[in-house]
Amino acid sequence: MAATQVIRSEWTKIRSVASTLWTLSLAVVVTIALGMLISALSKNEFDNLDEAGRLSFDPTFISFAGMSLGQLAMIVFGVLVVSNEYSTGMIRTSLAAVPQRATFLFSKIAVAALLALVVGLATSFAAFFLGQAMLGDLRADLGDPGVLRAVIGGGLYMTLIAMFSMGVAAMLRSPMLSLGILMPFFFLISNILGNVSATKKVGQYLPDQAGSKIMQVVTPIDDDTPYGPWGGLGIMALWVIAALVGGYVTLKRRDA
C-alpha cells in the first residue's frame, strides 16, 4: 500500500474514533479555562507580591497555567491513537494490510502529530489572548520580546507531549498500562522531582520540565536552569525521538 493511502487510512481511523476527538476537545477546554482562572487570580494577587515576585511575574507563562492539566488529555489522545488497535485486535488486520511496519507506525504518528499540532497551536493562542484579557493592565502583547515564541512553543509543547505518549504506547501496547505510567508520572512524579531541591537537577531534564521552558518569557530570579527556552524544547524532542524509536523497535521485533 502506498504511503499516501496509509496516511489517508490512518486519518480515517483517528477521525472515526469518538474518544480521540473527545480527548482533544477536553485538552482545549481545560487548558483555556484553567489558564483564564489562574490569570484572573494572579491579577487580584499581584498587589500582594513582594519585589522578587513582581520581578518574576510572567503574564505570558501564567496564561498557560492550564497546560498542566490540558497535557493530560493530550497524553490520553496519544495513547489511544496507538494502543486502540491493540485493545480491539485490529492491529493484525492493519499489519496485514500494511506489512511495512515503519510505514504503518510513522504514518499513524505523522497524522496524529499534525492533528495535535493544529489543536495545540489553536489552544495556545486562545489561552494566551483570553489569559491576557483576564490580566488587564498586567497583560503582555504578542509583539513583546519572546511572547510569540512562547505562544508558538505552547503548541509545540502539546504536540511533543502527544508524540511522546504515542511512542510509549507503541512500546507498552496496552492503553491501561501506558496511562497507568504516564498520567502519574506527568501529574505527580515529574513535579515532585522538579521542585524538591535534592532531585531538582535531575528533574529539570525530564521532558515536561525541560519543554515547558519554551513558554517562559520572564526568567524567575532564583532560576538556575542551565538551558534556555529552545534548549529545553530540544531536550524534550530528544525524549520524544527516544520514545518513538523504542516504539518502532518494539513493533518490529514483536508479533502483533
Burial class (CB in 10 A: 0-12, 13-18, 19+), 212: buried
d(CA 102, CA 80): 19
Task: Give me the pLDDT at residue 229, please.
Answer: 95
Task: Give me the pLDDT at residue 220, please.
Answer: 86
Task: Give me the pLDDT at residue 51, please.
Answer: 84
Task: Give me the pLDDT at residue 198, please.
Answer: 84
Task: Give me the pLDDT at residue 83, please.
Answer: 87
Parts of the chain with a pLDDT under 50: none
Task: Give me the pLDDT at residue 162, please.
Answer: 97
Chain centre distance of CA 252? 26
Task: Give me the pLDDT at residue 11, please.
Answer: 86
Annotated domain spans of the chain: 3-253
Task: Give me the pLDDT at residue 255, please.
Answer: 62
**Residue the block writes with cell 518574576:** 56
Q: Pick from 44, 28, 39: which is nearest to 65 by CA?
A: 39
Task: Give me the pLDDT at residue 125, please.
Answer: 98
Task: Give me the pLDDT at residue 2, please.
Answer: 64
